[in-house]
Structure 1
Amino acid sequence: MGRLTARSPVTRISLDDVAPGVRRRADTLAVEEPLEIRLGGEPLTVTMRTPGHDIELAAGFLVSESVISAGGHFRSAIHCGGPGTGTVGLTSTENTYNVLDVTLAPGVEAPSTDIARNFYTTSSCGVCGTASIEAIEKSSRYDVAADPVTVDAALIAGLPDALRAGQAVFEKTGGLHAAALFDASTGELLVLREDVGRHNAVDKVVGWAVLEDRLPLTGTVLQVSGRASFELVQKAVMAGIPVLSAVSAPSSLAVELAAASGLTLAGFVRGRSMNLYSRPDRIAVGRADAAHTA
């Protein structure tokens, strides 16, 4: 499997009054490499990611694209070789681990690979708006609005620290996003993944659920390390996750999609405060906390 970190020489400049100076040192960087996802040997998409949990990444991506919605829809996946893999008459002597070929279960229809088709997985796609919100509402197999889950506000407030404590590669590099799934009742950490792309980290979490056959993810909270973008709300809705919590701000379109889908969206979850942008009825405030904030 590909490496998660790399070492690089850097020049460090310090203007500190106590120990000023310029010195050379080695720094640890998060690895970023392309991953080509294929379906039955046919190219589907390419994403830049941190190597590791690639099968989960592919499975989660397919959920967000409404290709699959259950563990039984995902049959297998295998890393292919380097240049020439899958092409008649060409062979590869090296496995780059940057090409993943997915096989769907019999009867699961593969998506169109027409280059004109719209992917709603990037905030810079240029088509995001009312039409994209309606498309996601129509394509999601799960109704997150109907999830009866309630979550204690104190539990939500503690999730960013729990997420940070599990970010092993971030601790070394300072350069990765993270996403984690928690049980809404107990606060138990179910899975945590890191990646250079925030959307990839969420796809890996959802992909874990696919491989564990746990979709839809009712009664759970998705905690992310950065802002709540449209694409992250979309991925939560497509996986049946009822609550999304972010340490930073949401975008306006993320709030619109959350409200339209019935997903609870919390932003600026820091310390003992948070902003609730949709479905605040799911977040329970204890009597002591209510009296403290009254």
Structure 2
Amino acid sequence: MENNIFEELAVLEITKDESGCRLSATGKKVITETFLKIILNGMELITISCLNQQQEELVIGFLYNEGIIDSLQDVKNISFNDKIPAVSVELKEGIVPGNQYSTNSITSSGGRYHINPPAQNQYEALTSKITFPLDGILDLMAAFITKSEIFATVGGVHSVLFYTPDCEILTEDIGRHNCYDKMTGILLKSAKKYLSGRGIVFASGRISSEIMAKIIRIGIPVVVSKSTPTAAAVKLAREHNVTIMGYVRNTGGFIYSCPERLLVSRLCNSN
């Protein structure tokens, strides 16, 4: 684990027993928050509140999910400056992001201003016919919950796992949206985007409509969350043929859309 993702701070610990509450001085690891600038074609585009790791992958995924690029081939140069900190991206000639992008900030919760989503034609209904055994998904979720080393050590992060039988990509960040952008960036940077139509995403946090848009954009057919989807996310998933599962543990959960991708074994027959 990288040393620059948390700080050791002096805190007061509260303990309570039958005699009442006591305070004691101690040290506590606290997750760090970095404000990363994205500089696009020499102009500052946006500042993202994020974890101090996988900066280039985060920016590549962000630019793709925002519809600024359609592939890594649209990027001429990318570099990270840890002194600012900033990621500078130069697009190839002829790739124009448009005037709708202006300097603003994205918080760790994913809130953003003035950044428009990709054009509607960049959201295509998924045609993947792949299926997954339901009991296998429940087992994978149980394993996923224990995979975040940062959460186990420090806390304060969300995590996302892209899974196929031959490829696993785990991303962690203080912002849920950043986890998906990192996942997308890694798939693009490693030339593994072709795997997206065969994969599942496991998520520790809520699935909002903005996150569902990222799932649709990269083309992953199944998303499984420990938490809940929003109603808007479910509507998007149904419109674009994405399977959503929510409140999933190793003992069960709920299916909100496209159940036909899930194979029910004799051990978990449907009623």
Give me the TM-score of the superposition, normalised by structure 2: 0.88
Amino acid at match of 1:66: G
Instruction: Name the counterpart of 1:240.
Output: 219
The 3-state SS of whatever aligns with 2:178 is: helix
Amino acid at match of 1:139: Q
Distance 1:172 1:273, change over 3 A: same
Please tell me whether the aligned partners of residues 2 and 52 of structure 1 are also in contact (alpha carbons under 8 angstroms). Answer: no
Instruction: Name the counterpart of 1:284.
Output: 263
Give a deviation string over 1:35-83, Cα, whole Å, max 9, x none: 1111121111111000100001001101111122323233432123xxx
Instruction: Name the counterpart of 1:207.
Output: 185
Instruction: Name the counterpart of 1:79.
Output: 80
Instruction: Name the counterpart of 2:36.
Output: 35
The 3-state SS of whatever aligns with 2:17 is: coil
Amino acid at match of 1:98: P
Moved more, 251-260 or 64-73: 64-73
Moved more, 278-287 or 67-76: 67-76
C-alpha distance in 2 between matches for 1:200 and 1:194: 8
C-alpha distance in 1 between matches for 2:100 and 2:158: 29
Amino acid at match of 1:270: R
Distance 1:161 1:103, change over 3 A: farther
Instruction: Name the counterpart of 2:148.
Output: 167
Give a deviation string over 1:111-145, Cα, whole Å, max 9, x none: 4354499x9xx875689xxx97xx664223xx452
C-alpha distance in 1 between matches for 2:93 and 2:34: 31
Distance 1:23 1:110, change over 3 A: same
Please tell me whether the aligned partners of residues 44 and 113 of structure 1 are also in contact (alpha carbons under 8 angstroms). Answer: no
Amino acid at match of 1:201: C
Please tell me whether the aligned partners of residues 248 and 269 of structure 1 are also in contact (alpha carbons under 8 angstroms). Answer: yes
Instruction: Name the counterpart of 2:86.
Output: 99
The runs of 5 or more residues in structure 1 that have no matched partner are: 81-94
1:148 aligned onto 2:122: no
C-alpha distance in 2 between matches for 1:168 and 1:144: 35
Please tell me whether the aligned partners of residues 44 and 103 of structure 2 are also in contact (alpha carbons under 8 angstroms). Answer: no
The runs of 5 or more residues in structure 2 that have no matched partner are: none
Alpha-carbon offset, residue 199 of structure 1: 0.5
CA RMSD of aligned residues (A): 2.9
Instruction: Name the counterpart of 1:191.
Output: 169
Give me the TM-score of the superposition, normalised by structure 1: 0.81
Give a deviation string over 1:194-215, Cα, whole Å, max 9, x none: 1000100111111000101222
C-alpha distance in 2 between matches for 1:145 and 1:201: 21
Alpha-carbon offset, residue 272 of structure 1: 2.1
Distance 1:201 1:6, change over 3 A: same
- Percent identical across equivalent pairs? 24
Distance 1:103 1:155, change over 3 A: farther
Between Structure 1 and Structure 2, which shows a larger proportion of strand residues?
Answer: 2
Aligned length: 267
Instruction: Name the counterpart of 1:108.
Output: 95
C-alpha distance in 2 between matches for 1:150 and 1:12: 49
Instruction: Name the counterpart of 1:89.
Output: none
C-alpha distance in 2 between matches for 1:178 and 1:47: 17
